[in-house]
Structure 1
Amino acid sequence: MAGNSDPLTPRAKLAVTAGKAVAAASRAAGRGSGSVIGGRVALKLDPDLLARLAQNLDVVLVSATNGKTTTTRLIAEALRAAGPVVSNALGANMPAGITSALAGGSDAKFGVIEVDEKYLAGVARDTDPKCIALLNLSRDQLDRAAETRMLAENWREGLAGSKAVVVANADDPLVVWAASSSANVVWVAAGQMWKDDAWSCPSCGGVMQRPGDDWYCGECGFRRPTPSWALSGDHVLDPHGSAWPIHLQLPGRANKANAASSAAVAAVFGVPPQVALERMYQVQAVAGRYDVVQFQDRDLRLLLAKNPAGWLETFSLIDPPPTPVILSVNARGADGTDTSWLWDVDYTRLTGHPIFVIGDRKLDLAVRLEVANQSFQVCDNLDQAVQLAPPGRIEVIANYTAFQDLRRRVGN
C-alpha cells in the first residue's frame, strides 16, 4: 500500500473540496450530514476519487444484511490500537457516502468501510482491500433487493481473484458459498439464528441438511467449512484454541458474534485478540442503536430491527415480560415499500409483553400481531404509546426510517 504520500491529483483535490463544501451547505440547511450529496458531487468531478483516496490505506470492507454498522464500529475500535482509522461510522454505505468518509481521513492508516451488499464487488475493485468481512445474507427490502442467492452470486463473482483475506461466517451457507471463490478465507463460527433463507443449497438447489449446528447438502456435498475462530458463550476461541473473554457494553448474542468476526479481522492486521476485544468495550451505542434515553420521565431503550433476521435477534435480547414493548414500522424508500416480510417474523415471542404499535404501517403490523394471537394497542404516536405503557423501562423496536423518526422525537 506504500506510495506517494499525497496520492491526490489537482482534479481529485478540487473534487474533495467541492464535496466538502456541498456537504457543509446541506448540513447548514438542516438536511442531514450531507455526506451522500457531498460524495456524489466529488465523484462527478473525479470518477476515480474513491480509488485514489483508498490507495494509501489498509482497507477493511464489511458487508452483510445484518450487523454491518456495529461490526464496522467494533473493527474500527480494535484497529485504533495499531494506528489512526477513517470509517463511515454513521452507515452511509454506498459509493458516495464511502467517498465522503474517506475524504475526511487524510492522516489515517486504516480504512474501515461498511458497504451495502449490492455495491460490495464494485467497492472492492476500487479500494483494493486487505480484508473483507462477510457476516450474513438474509431477506431485506424485498422490493429493491435481489433475492439472497443472487446477492451471494454477485459476491462470489465479484470476489473471485481478489487478493483480500476474506473473514466469513461459516454458519451461513449463502456466505460460505459466496466466499468460496476467494483464495484466502478465514472461517468464523459466528452462529446463525435466522435460517429461513438457507434451506436450499446455493450451489445446486438441493435441500440442506441441518443436524445441530452443522449443515451440508445431501445432493452435491457442499458443506460447512471447519472454522478457525469461533464464538463460544462469552468467549472468542482463536485458531490456537485460546479462549478470550468478550468485553462489550452492547447487548445480545448477535453482538458477541460481531465481536468474534471483528477479532478475526483485527488479527489479519496484527492486533491480538485480547487487545482487540478490550478496545471493543468502548462502544456503547452505534448510531443511536441500544441507547437508553429519557423521554416523558421514562427510560426507553432504542433497538433497530429492519428484517426478519434482525427482529429475531432483537426479541432474544429484550427484558423479559411484563416489560412493555413499542413496535414501529414504516415502509418508505429506505425501508423497502413491501411489508410482506412481517409475516416471516415470529411475534409469538412477545407473548406476555404489553405491546404498543406505531409507525406509518401500524395497521399492517396490527393484522400480523392479531394472527399471532398477541394483545396490543395501536397508538397515534410515540408520546401516546409511552403514556399508555405500564411502569418500567420500555423496549422500543423500530425498522430503519421509523428508528430515525424516533431518534428525532426523543432528541437523540
Structure 2
Amino acid sequence: MVGRSTYFVLHNVLHRAGSALPGKLATKLDPDVMSQLAQDYDVILVTGTNGKTLTTALTARVLSEKYETVITNPSGSNMMQGITGTMLTARIPKNSHQRPLALLEVDEANVEAVAKQLKPIAFVLTNIFRDQLDRYGEIYTTYEKILKGIRLFPEATLIINADSPIFMRGNLPNPKVYYGFNHEPAQGDMHAPHNTDGILSPSDNSVLHYHFITYGNQGDYFSVTDEFKRPQLTYAVTKLNKLTPTFSNFDIDGQTLQIEIGGLYNIYNALAAYAVGRFMGVTVDQIRHAFESNAQVFGRQEAVQVGDKDVTIVLIKNPVGANQVIDMMKTDEQPFSLLALLNANYADGIDTSWIWDTDFESLHDSQLQAVATGGERYKDLYVRLKMAGYPDQAVYPDLKKIVSAIEAMPTKHVYIAATYTAMLQLRSQLQEAGFIKATGMEA
C-alpha cells in the first residue's frame, strides 16, 4: 500500500515519522481507506477546543493498563491525513486475545468526516472556547461541526465535560457519561465575567447563573428562568489537594490521584481520562498507576534543560487556555522568566486578536522577573505586553536565536509560551542544538 510504503521511507530512511504524508497519499488514492482499517478496532474519538492532546495521552496510558493494543496519535496530528497515517502504520500483535482500541484526537472541524469512516463506539468532549475564529467561527458554529459527526452514531456513548453548558445542546439520544467538578458546595449565585462565551441556557438562551466557576464558562451552572441546570455527574473531582507548576494532587469521587503536570485545566484532562477508563472497565488503582507515569507530552509543559536553565514549554492558542497557563505560572513560588512566541499561520489561527483578551496583567501578582517576545508576530505581542505593564522586553523575531534568548534570561526557570507552529520551530532549534532528542513528531 502506498501509505505504508511512504511511512517506511520516511521513518527508516529519512528518520522522520511522517504522520501526515502517508495518510495524505493514501487518502488521495482511496478516500475511504480508513473505513477498511477501522474494522479491526474499537474506536474512541476525543475532540474539543482545548486539552485534546493531553487528554488523549493520559487516556492512552489509562487504557494501556487493561488493553494490550491502544493506538493513538500522540503528536496531535488530528486531521484526516494525520489520523489516516496513524491507522496505516499501526500494528496489531498476532497473538492478541483482545480487540484493539484506537484512541484518536480529532480536530473539531474534522469530526464528521473522521467519524463517518471510523464508526466510533464513544466520543469524548473536552470543552469549547473561542478559538481560531478564521477556521471555526464562533463557539456555537464549532459545536455544530462536532454535532454533525455525533448525530451519525446515536448508539455511541458520549463522555461529556458536563461543566461546559454548551454540551447540553442538541437533544442527543446517545447514552451519556458526565464528568465535572464538585469540589465546592453547590451554594452561592454568581455570573461569569462579562466577556465570557458560552454561558447561555440551552433551554431559552437566558444567561446562566453559577454556584461556582472553575474557569471560563465551566462550573456548576443553573437557570433562574426555568428548571435547567447542570446534570448529575457520573464522575467528579471532589477535592483539590495541591496545585503546583509541576504536579496536581486531587480527589476524584474520594480517591486521591496525582498527575505530574500543573494547572487546573489539566485536572479536567485527567478527569476525562478517568471517565473513559472507568467506562472501558479500567480500575481506579490501574488509573492511579497510569497517572503516576512522568512521561512528557509533546509541547505540553515539556521540561527541557538548556545549559543551567530549567525550561518549561507550554502551548497557548486562545484566551481561555492562555489564562489557565498564566494561572499555572502564578502557582510557581520561585522567580521565573517568560518568553512568549506568537505566530499566526493556518495551524495557529491567523487572527491574533485573542491576545487582547488574555490577562497578562495578572502576572504582576506572580514571581515573574523578566519578559521577552518573539515569533513571526512578535510586534503584536510586544505591544500587548507593553500595554500590560512590561515595557522592557527583549525581542527575538528570529527563532534561530532562541537558545541565546533562553540563556539571556535572568532566572534559572524559564517558561516559553508559544503558539503551535512557533512551538514546532522552537523544538526544531532546541533539537538542532542538542537539547532535545528527535521524536519524529516534527514531520
CA distance in 1, matches of 2:41, 2:76: 19
Cα contact 1:247–1:278 (8 A) shared by 2: no
Cα contact 1:171–1:191 (8 A) shared by 2: no
**Could you tell me how far 1:80 is from its partner in structure 2?**
1.0
Aligned pair partner of 2:77 in 69, 92, 98 = 92
**Could you tell me how far 1:140 is from its partner in structure 2?**
1.4
Summarize deviations over 1:315-358 as a string: whole Å, max 9, x none.
Answer: 12222463111111111121111111111101112115221111
Aligned pair partner of 1:391 in 389, 407, 411 = 411
Alignment correspondent of 2:428: 408
C-alpha distance 125-190 of structure 1, shift in aligned 2 (>3 A) = farther
Q: TM-score, normalised by structure 1?
A: 0.87
Alignment correspondent of 2:439: none
Supply the AA of the counterpart residue of 1:295: V
CA distance in 2, matches of 1:46, 1:206: 47
- The range that moved more, 141-150 or 275-284, is 275-284
**Could you tell me how far 1:32 is from its partner in structure 2?**
5.5
CA distance in 1, matches of 2:207, 2:323: 23
Alignment correspondent of 2:285: 274
C-alpha distance 159-191 of structure 1, shift in aligned 2 (>3 A) = farther
Supply the AA of the counterpart residue of 1:284: A
Alignment correspondent of 1:247: 258
Question: Aligned runs of 1:333-372 on 2, under 5 Å?
Answer: 333-351=346-364, 353=368, 354-372=370-388
Question: Aligned runs of 1:220-235 on 2, under 5 Å?
Answer: 221-232=227-238, 233=240, 234-235=249-250
- The range that moved more, 400-409 or 365-374, is 365-374
Aligned pair partner of 2:113 in 104, 115, 122 = 122
Runs (5+) with no aligned partner, structure 2? 94-99, 184-191, 213-218, 241-248, 437-443
**Could you tell me how far 1:146 is from its partner in structure 2?**
2.1
C-alpha distance 46-159 of structure 1, shift in aligned 2 (>3 A) = same
**Could you tell me how far 1:403 is from its partner in structure 2?**
0.8
Alignment correspondent of 2:199: 199
Supply the AA of the counterpart residue of 1:60: I
C-alpha distance 250-263 of structure 1, shift in aligned 2 (>3 A) = same
CA distance in 2, matches of 1:182, 1:94: 27
CA distance in 2, matches of 1:190, 1:306: 24
- The range that moved more, 247-256 or 132-141, is 247-256
Cα contact 1:331–1:339 (8 A) shared by 2: yes
Supply the AA of the counterpart residue of 1:170: A
Alignment correspondent of 1:56: 40
**Could you tell me how far 1:95 is from its partner in structure 2?**
1.4
CA distance in 2, matches of 1:158, 1:288: 28
Q: Does 1:37 align with 2:21?
A: yes
**Could you tell me how far 1:314 is from its partner in structure 2?**
1.0
Cα contact 1:166–1:182 (8 A) shared by 2: no
Q: Secondary structure of the residue that 1:196 maps to in structure 2?
A: coil
**Could you tell me how far 1:63 is from its partner in structure 2?**
0.5
Q: Secondary structure of the residue that 1:214 maps to in structure 2?
A: strand
Runs (5+) with no aligned partner, structure 1? 1-16
Compare the two structures and name the one with the higher strand fraction: 2
Over aligned residues, Cα RMSD in angstroms? 2.5
Aligned pair partner of 1:163 in 155, 163, 171 = 155
Cα contact 2:37–2:88 (8 A) shared by 1: yes
Summarize deviations over 1:164-200 as a string: whole Å, max 9, x none.
Answer: 111101111122325x514211110159999822233
Cα contact 1:118–1:151 (8 A) shared by 2: yes
C-alpha distance 55-191 of structure 1, shift in aligned 2 (>3 A) = farther
Alignment correspondent of 1:288: 299
Alignment correspondent of 1:68: 52
Query: Number of aligned pairs?
Result: 391
Summarize deviations over 1:231-251 as a string: whole Å, max 9, x none.
Answer: 23234434xxxx222232222
CA distance in 2, matches of 1:86, 1:74: 13
Q: Secondary structure of the residue that 1:396 maps to in structure 2?
A: strand
Q: Secondary structure of the residue that 1:292 maps to in structure 2?
A: strand
Identical residues among aligned pairs (%): 31
CA distance in 1, matches of 2:120, 2:235: 21
Question: Aligned runs of 1:137-156 on 2, under 5 Å?
Answer: 137-156=128-147
**Could you tell me how far 1:217 is from its partner in structure 2?**
3.8
Cα contact 1:61–1:112 (8 A) shared by 2: yes
Aligned pair partner of 1:331 in 344, 352, 373 = 344
CA distance in 2, matches of 1:30, 1:177: 47
**Could you tell me how far 1:395 is from its partner in structure 2?**
1.2
Cα contact 2:339–2:374 (8 A) shared by 1: yes
Aligned pair partner of 2:312 in 301, 306, 319 = 301
Cα contact 1:174–1:198 (8 A) shared by 2: yes
Supply the AA of the counterpart residue of 1:361: R
Cα contact 1:198–1:208 (8 A) shared by 2: no
Q: Does 1:214 align with 2:220?
A: yes
Alignment correspondent of 2:122: 131
CA distance in 1, matches of 2:180, 2:144: 22
Q: TM-score, normalised by structure 2?
A: 0.82
Alignment correspondent of 1:379: 395
Cα contact 2:55–2:269 (8 A) shared by 1: yes
Cα contact 2:166–2:199 (8 A) shared by 1: no
Alignment correspondent of 1:14: none
Supply the AA of the counterpart residue of 2:320: A
Cα contact 1:132–1:164 (8 A) shared by 2: yes
